Amino acid sequence: MSRAASRIANTFERLAREKRKALVPFVTAGDPAPNITVQLMHAMVDAGVDIIELGVPFSDPMADGPVIQRSSERALKFGVGLNDVLAYVSEFRKTNQLTPVVLMGYANPIERMGMQVFAERAGAAGVDGVLVVDYPPEESHELLATMDAAGIDVIYLLSPTSSPERIKLVSVAARGYIYYVSLKGVSGAANIDTSDVESMIAKIRLQTKLPIGVGFGIRDGATAKHIARFADAVVIGSRLIQEMEAATPDTAVEKVRALLKNIRETMDS
């Protein structure tokens, strides 16, 4: 496969040169309110994040825990759909051409829009990657071909229960980076066992040269720093959403900026 180096690849190359690891926040588009999302994306970049994972709200987020599920329900109350999410990315791209944006969500909103239409609109909006939780490699040949053609990376998950065969399968299909789900369980669950994560990442590296991000269960700077010793990217989601839940709509953006800035500094120290 040959195509122009993606914003995601460029970002990891730059980080490698700088000997730093990627900090990747996850927030749900439209939560806590639709008019905050673009502002929040810029604030997270200011705080020092490298890639933004933007959740596409879905009515039945089966693989997510209660925190992300609540964020989805709040966004859905505002009627936020895939078209709105793409509009936020377009808006963000007006002033930011560097920070990769990955849409993360479930298959049905994409199926409803139509794969080809989605690829065109996402490409035009400036989306760099998609992570569709319930499209495993076996069921996503069409997604992968369509996104490859549109120059969008398809990011896949691996988990503690992934067999060597599945690690191989995912490594062949994966573009951009691999997202390692560090827990058996749903997003936002208990704290992670970092030594298990380290040995699994070593196994994955035998099969792929792609960067590996780790998410699910990372709640503070110290854990992020620890994970960053052996992973290429650290993903933080539920913790950010909880921070916003504890804030008012006026203070949510600043709260997230401060938290991410603190995590960034701890990671880099």
Partner 1 sequence: MQMQVEKYDLPDARGHFGPYGGVFVAETLQAALLQLNIEYAKAKADPAFVAEIQYELKHYVGRPSPIYHAKRLSEELGGAQIFLKREDLNHTGAHKVNNTVGQALLARRMGKRRVIAETGAGQHGVATATVAARYGMECVVYMGSEDVRRQAQNVYRMNLLGAKVVPVDSGSKTLKDALNEAMRDWVTNVESTFYIIGTVAGPHPYPMMVRDFNSVVGKECLTQMPEITGRQPDVVLACVGGGSNAMGIFYDYIPQTGVRLIGVEAGGDGIATGRHAASLTAGSPGILHGNRTYLIQDANGQISDTHSVSAGLDYPGVGPEHAWLKDSKRAEYVAINDDEALAAFHRLCRTEGIIPALESSHAVAHAMKMAPSMTKENVLLVNLSGRGDKDMATVAERSHAATGYPQ
Active-site residue set: 53, 64
Q: State yes or no: residue 11 binds partner 1 (CB under 8 A).
A: no
Cα 227 to Cα 87: distance, rounded to the nearest angstrom? 33
Q: State yes or no: residue 196 binds partner 1 (CB under 8 A).
A: no
Q: Which of 11/72 has CB closer to partner 1? A: 72
Closest of 171, 197, 165, 181 to residue 235, by C-alpha: 181
Q: State yes or no: residue 235 binds partner 1 (CB under 8 A).
A: no
Closest of 98, 93, 111, 9 to residue 56, by C-alpha: 111
CB of 161 to partner 1, least distance (A): 4
Number of residues that bind partner 1 (CB under 8 A): 44
Q: State yes or no: residue 60 binds partner 1 (CB under 8 A).
A: yes
Q: Structure tokens of 245? A: 């839940």
Q: Which of 25/57 has CB closer to partner 1? A: 57
Q: Which of 111/198 has CB closer to partner 1? A: 111
CB of 57 to partner 1, least distance (A): 8
Residue 199's CB: how many other CB atoms inside 10 A? 9
Residues in region 124-143 near partner 1 by CB under 8 A? 133-136, 138-139
Q: Pattern 90-119, binding to partner 1, x per CB under 8 A?
A: ----------------xxxxxxxx------
Closest of 162, 161, 167, 216 to residue 193, by C-alpha: 216
**Site residues, partner 1 (CB under 8 A):** 57-63, 65-66, 69, 73, 76, 79, 81-83, 106-113, 133-136, 138-139, 156-159, 161-163, 166, 170, 181, 184-186, 189
